[in-house]
Amino acid sequence: MRSIQRVIIERAEGIIGHHAMKRVTFTGDRSEDQGNEWLREIAKTAPKEGGYDKTDVWVMLSTGDDFAFRFDVMHSSLPNNDTNIRQHMRSWFLYNSRPEEIPHIARDPRRLKYAQAQIEPQQKAFAEAVLALLNADPV
């Protein structure tokens, strides 16, 4: 069983009436792959000149833990277009446990100090557990 077992996606901005504006749900071991495919479809019609379309994503793990995220989906021609659920989650939980491992945070001492000061021990332990779960999946 894969760690990500349900993905719900709802595009909050974008072309009115576009098929990706409705809420969709994917369940089971392929839910992450199907969710990523849906995000890539949204990216095809996101703004081409920079900008992004806010997209709400809910993820349920095999542990039963649920998470809500906001993805800033950019056009598919742009780098880092926020269409990878696992990468988005890893970034979030890494920030909540080891921000010094994030290059753009580590380069800015003030930003790093702020990020580290926000982390509580219980939060860090939980974030580490989620990262371990995500990293245990074969990719």
pLDDT confidence tier of residue 117, bands split at 50, 70 and 90: very high
Q: Same structural domain for residues 24 and 60?
A: yes
Amino acid at the residue 6? R
Q: Same structural domain for residues 96 and 135?
A: yes
Query: Is the per-residue pLDDT at 11 higher than 80?
Result: yes
Mean pLDDT of 67-90: 96
3-state secondary structure of 46: coil
Q: Same structural domain for residues 76 and 103?
A: no
Q: Same structural domain for residues 26 and 61?
A: yes
**Is this prediction's pTM over 0.85?**
yes
Q: What's the number of domains the chain is made of?
A: 2
Q: Same structural domain for residues 95 and 72?
A: no
Query: 123 is in which domain, residue-wise?
Result: 85-139
Q: In the structure encoding, which two tokens stand for residue 79, read together?
A: 């780098």
Distances (CA, A) of 1 to 5, 73, 87: 8, 28, 19
Q: Same structural domain for residues 75 and 135?
A: no
- How do residues 27-40 score in pLDDT, each as one tens digit? 999 999 999 999 99
Q: Same structural domain for residues 67 and 109?
A: no
CA-based nearest residue to 88, from 99, 100, 73: 73
Beta bridge partners of 54: 72
